[in-house]
Amino acid sequence: MPVIARHRLQTRVLFGQYEQLMMEMKIANHTSFKNVLLLEPQMFYELLERVGPCIQRQDTFWRKALHPGLKLACTLRFLATDCAYKSLMYNFRVAHNTLAMFIPEVCEAIIAEYADEVLAIPTTIQGWLDIADIFSRRWNFHHCLGATDGKHIAIRCPSRGRSTYYN
């Protein structure tokens, strides 16, 4: 293994947030664990058990694959905060370009695993009307059939799109 790669692996094991801080919090301080990932430890490990096989990769001659728990923790921390990849890489000791590759993959695995349980889509007209009624009564959004929440990502205005661009 090249010296540089070995050094990065040792740094991750010695100082990485997943390998050190989260393992300590899992044992000693569940409140802190929840503050970091917005999940109780048992929910994190249930989620890991369900999506882990989908995000697990094989070790190769050139590199050791990232642990699925590390990938999941990085993804949850990214979604829970406004951390950019370049900031997150210092906490977890994973390169920003690697984060950019696996975070969308982990999100897709979570969606695929939980879609049938969590994202129930009505199959009747009355089902859609019931949803619209709930949005109308609860949030004063009339004729609304759904809403999403997510991470705000700043985007630069296209050079010729100033009048039509809104972020």
Could you tell me the residue ranges of all domains in the chain?
Answer: 3-118, 121-167
Q: What is the mean pLDDT of the chain?
A: 80
pLDDT, position 6: 45
Are residues 89 and 58 in contact, defined by beta-carbon separation less than 8 angstroms?
no
What are the residue ranges of helices labelled H in 56-156?
68-80, 85-92, 96-118, 125-139
pLDDT, position 17: 65
Please report where in the chains the tokens 């759904």 appear, as a residue.
Answer: 146
Are residues 37 and 106 in contact, defined by beta-carbon separation less than 8 angstroms?
no
Q: What is the mean predicted confidence (pLDDT) over 37-61?
A: 90
pLDDT, position 52: 95
Segment 72-127, tens digit of pLDDT: 999 998 998 878 898 888 788 888 899 999 999 999 999 999 988 887 788 899 99
Beta-carbon contacts of residue 38 (< 8 Å; ≥ 6 apart)? 76, 80
Which of 5-14, 76-85, 156-165 is the least confident region? 5-14
* CA distance linking residue 28 with residue 108, whole number of Å: 31
Which of 61-75, 124-138, 146-160 is the least confident region? 146-160
State which amino acid sits at residue 129. L
pLDDT, position 13: 60
* CA distance linking residue 99 with residue 86, whole number of Å: 9
Q: Which of 28-37, 102-111, 153-162 holds the top average pLDDT?
A: 102-111
Nearest residue to 77 via CA among 20, 17, 30, 25: 17
Of 32 and 56, more confident = 56
Are residues 65 and 71 in contact, defined by beta-carbon separation less than 8 angstroms?
no
